Structure 1
């Protein structure tokens, strides 16, 4: 089925109910679907059709939301960009995807110039806002084709619908090809596992960019006719989040652990009613136990974890709300849950053998949520698809009940004195110190040990934390962690660099260490 038909069905079933809210503006399902049809008809009239890539660069808006569904109805391929990317980075995505059309918000004019200079396939540029020379205004297209009833293109299960670009922690970002059939499974999987009971009386709050996980999360809302509410500003505002949760009786939302932690620590959490929340889904990175407990104490047993990748669109494991607890003995502490419905997990060693319970290896997955492969990248596909399994590049183990424990990226592991060290183990212990707000540990070259750990610490705001030292933190690790796993160097920053989605990628930490002079590029390792 063409994914765009989900929007058509929502308009048929829920008509005059509110579909989308953004600041003071709102649209019913009928209005939203009419705008989607008008955009699809306008793009079709301009020669954009099945199989064509449409590059989208915008902050969250109703137009951003509409572009996804119009692209699906066309049978075209949605290529959303992280709006924090630089013009050269966006130009690369345009070339890599072979974009025929670009839809952008007018504050990104410099990005369009870069795309025009490098993308030979680009034929149409549609602007949300003030259109430039040779461009067409988004709202002009919608007005021109108002009243159009667009018939969704016929598609097959494996026809692409979305090029989901990876974050590119090493080398260039790769386009993971998501298909109509795959995403139909993913939508049903979300409804079955993560948000059971979702219905037309519910509301969902969109706090993350629609270009990635939040866009996937919005799709099941459409299936069930649940209203989606977007933050009114361009920056994250904790008070606005809690105000909207109360105002719209929000039932579910998707975010990342760092943002959820910010929300529950903000004083505004106590000024608004959040009793309507049933599923607060956190993903994108493991959540430290201290932060998990704080969230449970503040908003109750409504948090749901999932683990996945863009290549598997979040559908690998989930830890449901009922499996969470503030009591360690009542939950699988440190686990990211068990396999999602219809998915299978195996832990494999470097030779490809499947390992038994409690043995650490690479996390591999198979099932209908796995993507179709990387676009025009046979080398990368050969690396990740082996023996019928997708190899995630993440390390972990399964316990005897099937709960998965993530121990880090294969690329995060370092070897110190001949022993494998997984940074997350030290991070978990360090975060239990009351003076530590955030921490990141990574391995760097070391002339004595081969590699050694560097811990980047953000002190908490307490008066006592100001004097927090390396010696105190080493004492805190004593008896809780094998000594060979201790970081050798501690540096203290005011904050950790984060990606546009609130994650803390290790490559950003490493770059900043070099930029500050805490790492020496000549191979001398870290300054002690």
Structure 2
């Protein structure tokens, strides 16, 4: 099944059902007609079947419409991160050789700067009002006005590239991950099965479409003939208003967004929400407990996966087992193998031992390999298995518990220490809002376990530091070797556009300390 056909079949079943919520709603019949015209406009602008087009917009319905229109026209959609710097963006443009790049008022200047260092720059297309189009750009809206209604007249194959996402680049260069119509359809289907997303259900479209979670919320909602409620930029109060007004039943978000919603103190108003799912980062037990007590959801799913293979495993009960990654997904197969970088997929660790998560590439949700990166393929794909770089153990029930990333492991005094265990212990401290643990260079220990904490708003950083130090010493339950040797109070934790913690920034010293247990002056 290709995505263009899937969209049309949903429209045939429920033409008058609300497809897009928010201030500018559309039925499925209206959205189908709108995406047809956008698809024809993209072709007229030079993006023919088999080509690639970058969509660099703030988000919301305009970006979703472009993505769905690209599926109908057989164009590989590349929704890139709006947080890329000019150098990263120039690299991605040169790497994927798009025929055009669609921009809006939030991204035009960045693209112009990036294109200065691109040898063969693509055509730039303006997504805003035609009258506002900057000099040197073509107007998408003007082209849409010139097109006639109706389908573009092309039906993609399920083997065609639907989308290419670039990894966030938390380490090294961004990597292109091409995904077929088949893989995207199967991933959306898996999402529906694994989260219990019901037919016709409404969901919040706030996760960016340059991330697999944002795409999954969109495509799964289309398959289920539900209502996708766009929010181009996250704001906790505005999100809560949308959830309540639109009677949203299912939320699929990163933990940082759930945390922000809980911090409003008003999340209990969202009585329509019955299904929760999270991914992208671990969730502390305290946050899971808070969400469970506030919303009492019917389903509370921990989705463990990646851009490359959408599902690794599913933890089906975030209330009973907060943080547990559960078992392999409905279309997945996984095993724990020796953490050594050169390990073979058959080097399976014994029950209860920690190992690296390897997932079968036979999954219908899997990609086939990175774009122009044989070095990355050689590192991550071996004998039909994808090596995720995640470390995990299984408990007595056979359920998976992720301990962190291989690259995040802290070697302090010859001992291997995993940050998430310490973070979960410290997260229960009532005198902090957020905590991230990394290893920072230390002359004696090699690396010192260092906790970066964000205190409650308005509280003196020195008070936060003293309170956390006391908690570590008296109430954390951590053995001495795992207690932070350094605690730093900061105003924020560095994160990517989708909420992933950028630990490397902290390791490199890229932070401003408000208070520091080493006595180092704030800088």
- Asked if TM exceeds 0.5, the reply is yes
Greater Cα offset, 110-119 or 164-173: 110-119
Pick the aligned partner of 1:485 from 482, 486, 495: 482
Structure 2 distance, partners of 1:481, 1:335, is 20
Is the Cα contact below 8 Å between 1:97 and 1:163 reproduced in 2? no
Is the Cα contact below 8 Å between 1:414 and 1:421 reproduced in 2? yes
Is the Cα contact below 8 Å between 1:40 and 1:74 reproduced in 2? yes
Distance 1:31 1:428, change over 3 A: same
Distance 1:123 1:457, change over 3 A: closer
Q: CA deviation at 1:526?
A: 11
Greater Cα offset, 3-12 or 433-442: 3-12
Q: CA deviation at 1:304?
A: 2.1
Distance 1:36 1:417, change over 3 A: same
Pick the aligned partner of 1:405 from 385, 401, 406: 401
**2:378 maps to 1:382:** yes
Pick the aligned partner of 2:242 from 227, 230, 244: 244
Q: CA deviation at 1:100?
A: 1.3
Is the Cα contact below 8 Å between 2:490 and 2:513 reproduced in 1? no
Q: CA deviation at 1:133?
A: 2.5
Structure 2 distance, partners of 1:396, 1:152, is 45
Structure 2 distance, partners of 1:107, 1:451, is 41
Structure 1 distance, partners of 2:331, 2:233, is 37
SS at match of 1:306: strand
Q: CA deviation at 1:226?
A: 0.4
Q: Which runs of 5+ in 1 are unaligned?
A: 326-330, 519-524
Q: CA deviation at 1:464?
A: 9.6
Q: CA deviation at 1:477?
A: 5.9
CA offsets, 1:250-306, max 9 Å, x none?
111221101101112212324x3x222122221110100011101111111343221
Structure 2 distance, partners of 1:355, 1:166, is 29
**2:509 maps to 1:507:** no
**2:194 maps to 1:193:** yes
* Aligned positions of 1:37-48 closer than 5 A: 37-48=36-47
Is the Cα contact below 8 Å between 1:87 and 1:110 reproduced in 2? no
Structure 2 distance, partners of 1:150, 1:192, is 32
Is the Cα contact below 8 Å between 1:50 and 1:153 reproduced in 2? no
**2:215 maps to 1:226:** no
Structure 1 distance, partners of 2:485, 2:428, is 19
**2:135 maps to 1:133:** yes
Pick the aligned partner of 1:303 from 277, 300, 305: 300
Is the Cα contact below 8 Å between 2:465 and 2:487 reproduced in 1? no
CA offsets, 1:352-381, max 9 Å, x none?
311132210111111222211110010110
CA offsets, 1:141-168, max 9 Å, x none?
22221413223333243x3221111111
SS at match of 2:389: strand
Q: CA deviation at 1:180?
A: 1.4
Q: Hey, what does 1:522 align to over in structure 2? A: none
Q: Hey, what does 1:328 align to over in structure 2? A: none
Alpha carbon RMSD of aligned pairs, Å? 2.3
SS at match of 2:325: strand
* Aligned positions of 1:99-248 closer than 5 A: 99-129=98-128, 130-157=132-159, 159-196=160-197, 198-200=198-200, 202-212=201-211, 213-231=213-231, 235-248=233-246
Q: Hey, what does 1:260 align to over in structure 2? A: 258
Q: CA deviation at 1:443?
A: 0.8
**2:44 maps to 1:50:** no
Q: Hey, what does 1:355 align to over in structure 2? A: 349
**2:278 maps to 1:282:** yes
SS at match of 1:311: coil
Is the Cα contact below 8 Å between 1:454 and 1:526 reproduced in 2? no
Q: CA deviation at 1:426?
A: 1.1
Distance 1:514 1:400, change over 3 A: same
SS at match of 1:55: strand
Is the Cα contact below 8 Å between 1:305 and 1:318 reproduced in 2? yes
Is the Cα contact below 8 Å between 2:127 and 2:139 reproduced in 1? yes
TM (normalized to structure 1)? 0.90
Structure 2 distance, partners of 1:123, 1:416, is 49
Distance 1:457 1:154, change over 3 A: closer
Structure 1 distance, partners of 2:233, 2:122, is 32
Is the Cα contact below 8 Å between 2:203 and 2:217 reproduced in 1? no
Pick the aligned partner of 2:309 from 286, 306, 312: 312
Is the Cα contact below 8 Å between 2:304 and 2:313 reproduced in 1? yes
Q: Hey, what does 1:521 align to over in structure 2? A: none
CA offsets, 1:77-105, max 9 Å, x none?
11111112223322221111111111111
Is the Cα contact below 8 Å between 1:16 and 1:30 reproduced in 2? yes
Structure 2 distance, partners of 1:245, 1:135, is 37
SS at match of 2:277: strand
Pick the aligned partner of 1:420 from 416, 419, 442: 416
What is the number of residues matched between the two proteins? 505
Q: Hey, what does 1:2 align to over in structure 2? A: 2
Q: Hey, what does 1:35 align to over in structure 2? A: 34
TM (normalized to structure 2)? 0.91
Is the Cα contact below 8 Å between 1:444 and 1:526 reproduced in 2? no
